[in-house]
């Protein structure tokens, strides 16, 4: 899949000569409005770039926003691929997205996702920054032939979520009174929501949130040397914790509770990056 990433990076360089993003942001369900904050942006539809297009999930855009946020060159990926759309196809798209960012000179990946909370004290509208994850997707995007030009065969996950980036996000949230806590993210393939028994098991394993994305892109990012921070926004308490029936419509509705928090957190984070 490196060929697609190289072709996509070359196309972007032709469209925006000299553009070198410092930060890439992957926007999850309901957060397409965040990309509107990017100034002087150039918008490229995923269908126009080799290896980018797959997702057809409501609430996800299919556009790449390139521009400047708070004085920092950024790329916003509005929409992502999910393993439930086809594991091999989705992994191919995610490899291309992340490696394109790296080939353009990116240094940081800030990714978001909608999650169910396994903690009653972290209700819808709250944010959770990942300090670790549990991979229950039963796949790994680095399986197969290693792409030596991007990274080594065996990749340490000791520092998968960068400690300094987490500290920055937590400090910003504290200063701005944004409800943000740390937690362990558990990723599943989906597209079904979890059973009550699965949620009980995940709690025993130490998970704080559960979702259907993020882990594959994070692994690819670490493989090619990007620093990573992942911010989840809680859209529901997990199955069995309330009487509410889980649905994608509910995910989009409850995501609206956290959009302002996420936007404020991102803007302040990027502003901090600009000062360094």
Q: Could you read off the pLDDT of 203-239 as tens digits, one per residue?
A: 999 999 999 999 999 999 999 999 999 999 998 888 8
What's the pTM value of the predicted model, to 2 decimals? 0.91
pLDDT of residue 27: 80
CA angle 54/113/10 to nearest 5° reads: 45
Instruction: Pick the catalytic residue from 9, 25, 29, 133.
Output: 29
Distance of alpha carbon 63 from alpha carbon 77, whole angstroms: 6
Peptide bond into 191 cis (omega under 30): yes
Partnered with residue 68 across adjacent β-strands are: 39, 73
For the question of residue 62 being annotated catalytic, the response is no
Instruction: Pick the catalytic residue from 2, 48, 85, 107.
Output: 85
For the question of residue 60 being annotated catalytic, the response is yes
For the question of residue 133 being annotated catalytic, the response is no
Q: Over 60: is that where the pLDDT of 55 sits?
A: no
For the chain, give the percent of residues with pLDDT over 90: 62
pLDDT of residue 21: 96
Residue 152: pLDDT band with limits 50, 70, 90: very high
Mean pLDDT of the region 133-150:
94
pLDDT of residue 68: 93
For the question of residue 149 being annotated catalytic, the response is no
Q: Over 90: is that where the pLDDT of 132 sits?
A: yes
In angstroms, how far is CA 225 from the centroid of its own chain? 16
For the question of residue 212 being annotated catalytic, the response is yes
Distance of alpha carbon 212 from alpha carbon 193, whole angstroms: 9
For the question of residue 35 being annotated catalytic, the response is no
- Which residues lie below 8 Å from residue 101, measured CB to CB, with a gap of 6+? 21, 24, 75, 109, 226
For the question of residue 204 being annotated catalytic, the response is no
- Which residues lie below 8 Å from residue 104, measured CB to CB, with a gap of 6+? 9, 12, 13, 19, 20, 21, 75
For the question of residue 233 being annotated catalytic, the response is no
Distance of alpha carbon 226 from alpha carbon 219, whole angstroms: 10
Instruction: Pick the catalytic residue from 4, 35, 41, 213.
Output: 213
pLDDT of residue 206: 98
Residue 104: pLDDT band with limits 50, 70, 90: very high
Q: What are phi and psi of 64, to 5 degrees?
A: -110, 125
For the question of residue 85 being annotated catalytic, the response is yes
Mean pLDDT of the region 17-31:
85
Instruction: Pick the catalytic residue from 1, 8, 78, 82.
Output: 82
Q: Over 90: is that where the pLDDT of 24 sits?
A: yes
pLDDT of residue 28: 66
In CATH, which of 3.40.50.1580, 3.90.199.10, 1.10.1740.10, 3.90.420.10 is domain 2-275?
A: 3.40.50.1580
Q: Over 70: is that where the pLDDT of 29 sits?
A: no
Q: Over 60: is that where the pLDDT of 59 sits?
A: no
pLDDT digits (tens, 9 = 90+) for 161-214: 999 999 999 999 999 999 999 999 999 998 998 999 999 999 999 999 999 999
Instruction: Pick the catalytic residue from 90, 114, 137, 239.
Output: 114
Instruction: Pick the catalytic residue from 182, 248, 263, 271.
Output: 248
pLDDT of residue 32: 64
Q: Over 90: is that where the pLDDT of 140 sits?
A: yes
DSSP state of 32: G
For the question of residue 196 being annotated catalytic, the response is no
Provide the pairing of β-strand 209-211 with 39-45.
unpaired
Q: Over 80: is that where the pLDDT of 52 sits?
A: yes
Residue 37: pLDDT band with limits 50, 70, 90: confident
Instruction: Pick the catalytic residue from 62, 236, 254, 258.
Output: 236
Each domain of the chain, given as residue ranges in start order, spans 2-275
């Amino acid at each position: 899949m490196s060929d697609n990433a190289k072709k996509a990076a070359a196309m972007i360089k032709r469209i925006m000569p000299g553009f070198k993003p410092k930060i890439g942001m992957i926007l999850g369900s309901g957060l397409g409005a965040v990309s509107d904050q990017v100034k002087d942006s150039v918008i490229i539809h995923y269908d126009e770039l080799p290896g980018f297009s797959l997702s057809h999930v409501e609430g996800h855009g299919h556009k790449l926003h390139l521009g400047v946020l708070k004085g920092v060159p950024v790329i916003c990926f509005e929409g992502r691929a999910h393993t439930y759309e086809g594991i091999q196809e989705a992994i191919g798209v995610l490899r291309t997205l992340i490696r394109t960012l790296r080939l353009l000179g990116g240094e940081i990946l800030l990714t978001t996702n909608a999650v169910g909370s396994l903690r009653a004290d972290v209700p819808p509208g709250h944010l959770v920054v990942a300090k670790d994850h549990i991979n229950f997707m039963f796949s790994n995007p680095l399986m197969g032939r290693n792409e030596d030009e991007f990274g080594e065969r065996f990749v340490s996950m000791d520092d998968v979520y960068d400690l300094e980036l987490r500290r920055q996000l937590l400090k910003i949230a504290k200063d701005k009174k944004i409800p943000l806590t740390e937690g362990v993210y558990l990723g599943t393939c989906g597209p079904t929501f979890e059973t009550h028994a699965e949620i009980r098991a995940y709690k025993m394993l130490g998970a704080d949130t559960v979702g259907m994305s993020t882990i594959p892109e994070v692994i690819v990012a670490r493989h090619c040397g990007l620093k990573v921070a992942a911010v989840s926004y809680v859209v529901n308490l997990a199955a069995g914790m309330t009487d509410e029936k889980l649905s994608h419509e509910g995910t989009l509705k409850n995501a609206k509770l956290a959009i302002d928090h996420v936007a404020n957190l991102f803007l302040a984070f990027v502003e901090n990056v600009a000062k360094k």
